[in-house]
Structure 1
Amino acid sequence: MTKQYGTPADDWAGKAVETMLKREPEVNLKGKWEYEDGLMLNGVMDVYERTKDQRYLEYIKHFFDTYIDDDGNVKGYDPELFRLDDINNGKVLLKLYFITKDPKYKLVLDRLFDQLQKQPRTPSDLFWHKKSYPNQVWLDGIYMGDVFYAEYLHYFVQGPDFTDVIHQFTKSYDIALDKHTGLCYHAVDESKEMYWANKENGHSPHFWLRSIGWYVMAMTDVLEYLPEDNPGRQQILTNLRNLLDALRKVADPATNLWYQIPDEGDRPMNYLESSGSLMILNAIAKSLRMGYLENQEDWQAFLKKGWENALQQFISITNEGYVNVNKIAHVGGLGGPNHRDGSFAYYMSEPIVVNDHKGTGPFIMLANEMRAYY
């Protein structure tokens, strides 16, 4: 009998945030402005909003104050690189701004929004993932840039027009969708010139779990900010439901979790991957809370089984009592100096790591959502 680290009813979100405060008092020792830090701090903010523990708010504030000066300049951020990844930290910063009303945070929010206004676009009018990846649309980038886009319009623009936000979501779904499985490919090169791109449709070679995790979280998050009577909002909701249904069909039936390459679970070397699985479960949990999903009882049962297995498959506790999030794919990309070709062999070759913020963030968010079930 293996040692049990706790029960599904424990406050795992609180345990994980306490771990972050003790184990990582400085969120980023490299001094880089990185999207995964914002992802993790979004989880901490969720727990702060539930508990009102001021230490959690100070932890978030300390991170941003190490990067942002009084003039709103951000250490490590270069808007001329046009990386959608750089926008992601703006989501938790926006919440921090409304709590503190510190004007330097608003200056940063304005600069992030200004980047989106100038972001290069593909022929179908979608944002490039970054300047160095011309005409490429990645599912990851929708989460990084387009939820913030909607939030900024909602809070700071009089009579906001969400047409472009909706287009970023609906058109990316249309061009990335595989009609046979209902899943979406990791990326699309609209120029069809990259060595990894399908010459007919620009698709990357495989579905990648975490990219779909980013995508369903993005759709779940953006719906909050779109007017309910807007037909584009209804289309995003339909797309979200369809994609979650497709994901459910390829989930590992024993655990309700997902493989790194989600539609090839029986292929040797493939493995249950934590970050993407936690993201998808988090999207399901939030969608249930917000009333986005039909057949609620059925989805709740699926979610609880996935949560309980996620704890067994991915979570361990150290001798100090720290929460470890295991089985995280370190990175997954296409192109670049390492010639990442999007093959199955490529996705299996990337290191599997522990406590990367791309895994701890979704774990904290999901664990916080699961407080409603126990």
Structure 2
Amino acid sequence: MKNTKRQSYFTSVVLVCLIAFTSCKVTSQEPAKKEIVISKNLKWSDKMALTLMKRHPEAYMIDDSKKPKWDYVHALVLHSIEELYKKNPDARYKTYIRGYVDELVQNDGTIKTYELDKYNIDLVVPGRLLFDIYAASKEEKYLKAMQLVRQQIAEQPRTQSGGFWHKKIYPNQMWLDGLYMGEPFYAQYTLTFENGKNFDDIAKQFEVIQSHATDPKTGLLYHAWDESKQMPWANKETGNSPNFWSRALGWYVMALVDVLDYMPKDHPKQKELVKYLNNASAALAKYQDKSGLWYQVTDKGGKEGNYLEASGSSMFAYAFAKGANKGYLPASYKKLANKAFDGLTKKLIKTDADGGITLTQACQVAGLGGTPYRDGSYEYYVNEKKKDNDPKATGPFILAALELNR
């Protein structure tokens, strides 16, 4: 009897030890992610970044994606977190970005889900995330992935006047969005690997859209231009789409301030791009609402259905603040940027129970043509769905907060 008791006691001890050992082993192999705490006194940039990381534990989940994909919306948010990391080197930011890149960039430098032959200029943006990772790691796969994206730019179909088509499925069309999608990567690449030899071609993209899509009356730029004038949405004389969309204009001014980071001051085209930024910014300043924000359809503030929109307003706040900080724009634009940021935080931000933040009133998506057909009418823009914490708003919001040190 005693023996049996002793044996069962011994067996229990061994089992307890084994369980303890294996659970320790599992823990040491897979460290549990610490729960993200978002405190009240954080800067807005950290608050937004940590909110997104808490809601989307893996970066590929941004925008509620179910599977990893090489996509401009993820890249926009992760680029903003990359800029945040430079100001606040919290290791969690770096890990989050690297997790996304390593999920998609394969050992041979190919990129999962990326289809070069679609010539979709949106898919150039994630290439921006590769520069810092390659510089730090010197792993060849990141260089090869950058070269692959650069190949798309080399082969991207162009209008007769030399501007990149927005996508292969949108022949002869340049959209303002495309300037942000293609040019900052192109500028950084040509500076880093090509001794800056393609800055003229980059400037050319802005020249083409500026000369064709600018409205002489308001100074604003139309969302898109069809060189062939064949699309039903295109004006038969000018080829322009019918309305001014704040986010499209936001992409444009962000493209200018980001490209200017790489273009040397003594480059003959540098002053030209600074002039475009000043012209577009002066036009936009006239349409800033007293709240500090801008409307979805930029020039139709009082019209029924129009609303103060988060992504365009965040983009303008960023471009104005950065433009002023870098000396491209007069210092007065910093005040306009702060007014815009006040509008965002007072009117469009909600604080969640866990301290996270939600940016409301962001247009989810808007485009032209396609199926179902998008006609670019006023009614079309104001009736597109809205989405809270849409990445096209949260990324620029982080960038604006950084430029304004808020």
TM-score (norm 1): 0.94
**Is the partner of 1:52 in helix, strand or coil?**
coil
- Structure 2 residues not aligned, in runs of 5+: 1-37, 61-65
Q: Which letter does structure 2 place at the counterpart of 1:133?
A: Y
**Which residue of 1 is the match for residue 318 of structure 2?**
282
| 1:228-283 C-alpha deviation (Å, 9 max, x unpaired) | 2223111110010010000000111x112100001000101100000011001100
**Is the partner of 1:263 in helix, strand or coil?**
coil
Q: Which letter does structure 2 place at the counterpart of 1:285?
A: A
CA distance in structure 1 between the aligned counterparts of 2:266 and 2:146, rounded to whole angstroms: 28
Q: Does 1:216 align with 2:253?
A: yes
CA distance in structure 2 between the aligned counterparts of 1:272 and 1:6, rounded to whole angstroms: 28
**Which residue of 1 is the match for residue 92 of structure 2?**
55
**Which residue of 1 is the match for residue 404 of structure 2?**
370
**Which residue of 1 is the match for residue 233 of structure 2?**
196
Q: Which letter does structure 1 place at the counterpart of 2:376?
A: G
**Is the partner of 1:163 in helix, strand or coil?**
helix
| 1:112-151 C-alpha deviation (Å, 9 max, x unpaired) | 0010000100011100000000000000001000111111
Q: Which letter does structure 1 place at the counterpart of 2:359?
A: V
CA distance in structure 1 between the aligned counterparts of 2:403 and 2:271, rounded to whole angstroms: 24
Structure 2 vs 1, CA of residues 114 and 320 (structure 1 numbering), >3 Å: closer, same or farther? same
**Is the partner of 2:183 in helix, strand or coil?**
helix
Structure 2 vs 1, CA of residues 190 and 117 (structure 1 numbering), >3 Å: closer, same or farther? same
CA distance in structure 2 between the aligned counterparts of 1:177 and 1:369, rounded to whole angstroms: 27
Spell out structure 1 runs of 4+ moving beyond 6 A: none
Structure 1 residue 309 displacement after superposition? 1.4
**Which residue of 2 is the match for residue 305 of structure 1?**
339
Structure 2 vs 1, CA of residues 57 and 171 (structure 1 numbering), >3 Å: closer, same or farther? same
RMSD of Structure 2 on Structure 1 (CA): 1.6
Q: Does 1:338 align with 2:372?
A: yes
**Is the partner of 1:133 in helix, strand or coil?**
coil
CA distance in structure 2 between the aligned counterparts of 1:132 and 1:43, rounded to whole angstroms: 29
CA distance in structure 1 between the aligned counterparts of 2:96 and 2:326, rounded to whole angstroms: 28
**Which residue of 2 is the match for residue 84 of structure 1?**
121
Q: Does 1:14 align with 2:46?
A: yes
TM-score (norm 2): 0.87
Structure 1 residue 6 displacement after superposition? 10
Range 318-327 or range 175-184, more displaced: 318-327
Structure 1 residue 97 displacement after superposition? 2.0
**Which residue of 2 is the match for residue 101 of structure 1?**
138
**Which residue of 2 is the match for residue 361 of structure 1?**
395
Any conservation in 1 of the 2:292–2:342 contact (CA below 8 Å)?
Answer: no
Q: Does 1:324 align with 2:324?
A: no
**Which residue of 2 is the match for residue 349 of structure 1?**
383
Larger Rg: 2
CA distance in structure 1 between the aligned counterparts of 2:266 and 2:402, rounded to whole angstroms: 30
| 1:310-369 C-alpha deviation (Å, 9 max, x unpaired) | 101221111122111111100010000110000011111210111121111111111112
Structure 1 residue 170 displacement after superposition? 1.6
- Structure 1 residues not aligned, in runs of 5+: none
**Which residue of 1 is the match for residue 242 of structure 2?**
205
Structure 1 residue 159 displacement after superposition? 5.4
CA distance in structure 2 between the aligned counterparts of 1:150 and 1:67, rounded to whole angstroms: 23
CA distance in structure 2 between the aligned counterparts of 1:201 and 1:129, rounded to whole angstroms: 18
Range 164-173 or range 204-213, more displaced: 164-173
Q: Does 1:236 align with 2:268?
A: no
**Which residue of 1 is the match for residue 328 of structure 2?**
292
Matches within 5 A, 1:123-134: 123-134=160-171
Q: RCO (CA 8 Å, sep 6+): is it higher in 1 or 2?
A: 1
Structure 1 residue 106 displacement after superposition? 1.1
CA distance in structure 1 between the aligned counterparts of 2:192 and 2:131, rounded to whole angstroms: 9
CA distance in structure 1 between the aligned counterparts of 2:84 and 2:322, rounded to whole angstroms: 14
Range 19-28 or range 311-320, more displaced: 19-28
Q: Which letter does structure 2 place at the counterpart of 1:363?
A: F
Matches within 5 A, 1:134-213: 134-158=171-195, 160-213=197-250
Q: Which letter does structure 2 place at the counterpart of 1:293?
A: L
Any conservation in 1 of the 2:316–2:337 contact (CA below 8 Å)?
Answer: no
CA distance in structure 2 between the aligned counterparts of 1:213 and 1:159, rounded to whole angstroms: 26
Q: Which letter does structure 1 place at the counterpart of 2:335?
A: A
CA distance in structure 1 between the aligned counterparts of 2:45 and 2:128, rounded to whole angstroms: 19
Q: Which letter does structure 1 place at the counterpart of 2:388?
A: V
Q: Which letter does structure 1 place at the counterpart of 2:344?
A: A
Structure 2 vs 1, CA of residues 6 and 249 (structure 1 numbering), >3 Å: closer, same or farther? farther
Q: Does 1:255 align with 2:291?
A: yes
